[in-house]
Amino acid sequence: MSREPLVGLAYKRLCLPLLKQLEDPAAAQENCLRRILKRCKNTVFGKQHGFAEIKSIKDFQERVPIGSFDSMKPYIERCGQGEQNVLFPDKILIFLETAGTSGIPKQFPLGEHRVQELTQDFLQRSIFYMVHTGNYDVMDGTALSLISPPNTGRRIGPYDIAYFSGAITDIPLPTNLQLLGGNPRGVPPREVSAIRDYEKKAYLTARYAAEADVRTTIGVTANVVSLLSKLRNQYLDRFLADPELDNKTKNRLRQVSQDGIIDLKELWPDFRVFISGGMSVTHHKRIIYDLLGDDIDIWQTYGANEGSLGVQIYPEKGLFPRINRTFFEFIPDEEEAAQPIPLSEVKQGKPYRILLTNNGGFYRYDLGDLVTFSELDPPIFGEISRKTALVNIVGERMSEELFLRALDSACEKFSTSFVDFALLPEITEKYTRHHLFIEFTQPPSDLEEFTAVVDELLHQATIYYEYQREVGVLSKPVITPVELGGFEAVLLKQGKDPVQSKIPRLLSPELSRLFPLLKSKHQ
């Protein structure tokens, strides 16, 4: 039987309801909040905050204060002691640990209901992609991913501690997805994902991928791009000398390579879609197209350890809020004493901080993300970044997204791209400036001119930066190119897993000295 009719039936059952809800987001959000409160009203948190008596969004906002990890800690500690029905009514399966990019890693419980939602979200995302692109054969091949080990080897009370990407490898695929056929689980096998030695795991993952008919990749964008770059540029000789790799695959690799570089477009001629996870994919697009061809699809997701937030439904259309999963509130950024507003009151192009409420035990939780909306009818997320202000030395109020956009535009002008960047604020008697450490795929031909272009783009991006530069309070930025693979190298030096951990965008002087520098240019 053809897969298309089966996908069509699943689309009607699982996808059309969300599209219907997007026709009236305000009503959908009220219903979403009502379901969460009803389900969690008899939890410890629900009883303390009177969930049973809440009749409206206003009631909810009055009874439940804005939450943070610190405000959740007493409840999380009770969960860690084995107590059930504290934050949510379902059974706790495991504790998740965050990467700690913005500080100390956080740990919180993962329940059965959230796991069910994750499997449904995976299925829904796959169906939206197939129906709206017509690429039903994507499931005839293999999905490639690079993920953390299933657990950290540590425990909280009776529960294992895991990173998110590792924890979900043990989630059984939805029966619906299995019925659609294909091989959606993909490579590498679980025993490779469980390896703690990152370099060994990356190589073995790439080796399995070299043997497979890879048609999609899934994972945090930067991690997958890094793996594909290693596969293309570094592993050929090692593959050819590997006794575990069969001769047929080795001959195939010889055919699709030249001068030690593997042509991934030839290796995987039926590759269809790069599924992007994490933050904005904008500055990675050129790298992805260079690696896999500019005729592939890039399909975005927006989620966090704390919840499912956005889903791509149509090609080139952006991310739609998951209004069936999360009740959203938004705080206008840079407005003192601004009150949270519901989704129905947001304005196009205005930056907001997200508060989320969901079935995972998060209530009015300040996620720390900054978002804008590119459209309102229905709502579509525009820019998404992790922090409202990455750096604010002298009132310049520079966000992560501003730097990403400037660097991306400069790279386009100089026909290059970058894998990642981090920033060190430098304040001395002579100058106050931003020192950017950038991992380029290939350094720009003229670093000084590249820096001048970035400076001008930042001038154009925000009046705060422009003013501080014009009056001389803020000096011209300086850029130090980092050796390719340098961000991973720093994490490995710290004993961290690059799959799960990230370099903080805002560096300390001590951390900046760990980077393997390709070339330094201090101005």
The whole-angstrom separation of Cα 109 and Cα 56 is: 28
For 193-218, give the DSSP string. Answer: HT---HHHHHHHHHHHHHHS-EEEEE
Q: Residue range 317-333: average pLDDT?
A: 94
CB-count burial class (<10 Å; 0-12, 13-18, 19+) for 402: buried
Residue 44 and residue 41: Cα distance in Å, rounded?
8
318 has a pLDDT exceeding 80: yes
Strand 142-145 to 214-220 pairing = parallel
Mean pLDDT, the chain, integer: 89
Give CA–CA dist 188/207, Å, rounded: 9
Average pLDDT over residues 216-233: 90
- b/e 151-161 (16+ beta carbons within 10 angstroms → b): bbeeebeebeb
Tokens representing 66 are 């804005």
Stretch among 131-145, 151-165, 475-489 having the lowest mean pLDDT: 151-165
Q: What is the mean pLDDT of residues 255-259?
A: 96
Which residues are bridge partners to 300 per DSSP?
A: 276
User: What is the chain's length?
Assistant: 523
Predicted local distance difference test score (pLDDT) of residue 62: 96
pLDDT, residue 56, reads 95
Rounded to an integer, the average pLDDT of 152-161 is 89
Decide: 496 and 489 in contact? Cβ < 8 Å.
no
DSSP H or E stretch at residue 178 = helix 175-179
Q: Lowest-confidence range among 163-177, 405-419, 445-459, 489-503?
A: 163-177
Inform me whether the pLDDT recorded for 512 exceeds 80. Answer: yes
Q: Looking at the predicted structure, is the pLDDT value of residue 333 above 70? A: yes
Radius of gyration of the chain (CA): 23
Q: Give the C-alpha separation, 319 to 390, whole Å.
A: 23
Mean pLDDT confidence for 294-309: 90
Residue 521 has pLDDT above 50, yes or no: no
- In CATH, 400-512 is 1.10.10: no
Give residue 523's pLDDT: 41
- Nearest in space to 115 (alpha carbons), one of 362, 307, 324, 326: 307
Evaluate if residue 179 carries a pLDDT over 70: no
Closest C-alpha to 479, from 520, 418, 427: 520
Q: What pLDDT sits at residue 356?
A: 96
Residue 119 has pLDDT above 90, yes or no: no
Q: Of the segments 158-172, 394-408, 443-457, which one has the largest average pLDDT value?
A: 443-457
- Beta strand 92-97 with 107-111 is antiparallel
Every domain of the chain and the residues it spans: 3-112+303-385, 135-294, 400-512
pLDDT surpasses 90 at 399:
no
For residue range 434-448, what is the model confidence (pLDDT) as tens digits?
Answer: 999 999 988 999 999
Per-residue pLDDT, averaged over 221-245, amounts to 93
pLDDT at 175 over 60: no
Residue 510 burial class via C-beta count within 10 angstroms: exposed 0-12, middle 13-18, buried 19 and up: exposed
Q: According to the model, what pLDDT value does residue 182 have?
A: 46
Instruction: Assign 164 to helix, strand or coil.
Output: helix
- Omega cis (within 30) before 184: no
CA distance 401 to 218: 23
Once rounded to an integer, what is the mean pLDDT over residues 292-315?
92
pLDDT of 106 reads: 87
Of the CA atoms within 13 Å of residue 225, those in its CB half-sphere come to 27
More confident residue, 150 or 156: 156
- The 10s digit of each residue's pLDDT in 48-83 is 999 999 999 999 999 999 999 999 999 999 999 999
Most confident of 19-33, 104-118, 222-236: 19-33
pLDDT class for 100, splitting at 50, 70, 90?
low
DSSP-assigned letters across all residues of 52-89 = GG--SHHHHHHHSPPB-HHHHHHHHHHHHTT--SSSSS
Q: What is the pLDDT of residue 285?
A: 87
When comparing pLDDT for 383 and 320, which is higher? 320
pLDDT tens, 187-208?
A: 888 889 888 888 999 999 999 9
CA 276 to chain centroid: 7
pLDDT of residue 389: 65
Percent of the chain with pLDDT over 90: 65
Q: Tell me which of 261-270, 282-291, 423-432 is least confident.
A: 282-291
pLDDT value at residue 522: 40
- Give, for 40, the enclosing helix (H) or strand (E): helix 25-40
What is the per-residue DSSP string for 401-451? HHHHHHHHHHHHHTT--EEEEEEEEEE-SS-EEEEEEEEESS--S-HHHHH
CB 392 within 8 A of CB 427: no
What pLDDT does 425 receive?
A: 95
CA distance 40 to 519: 55
pLDDT in tens, 33-43: 999 999 999 99
Would you say residue 1 has pLDDT above 60? no
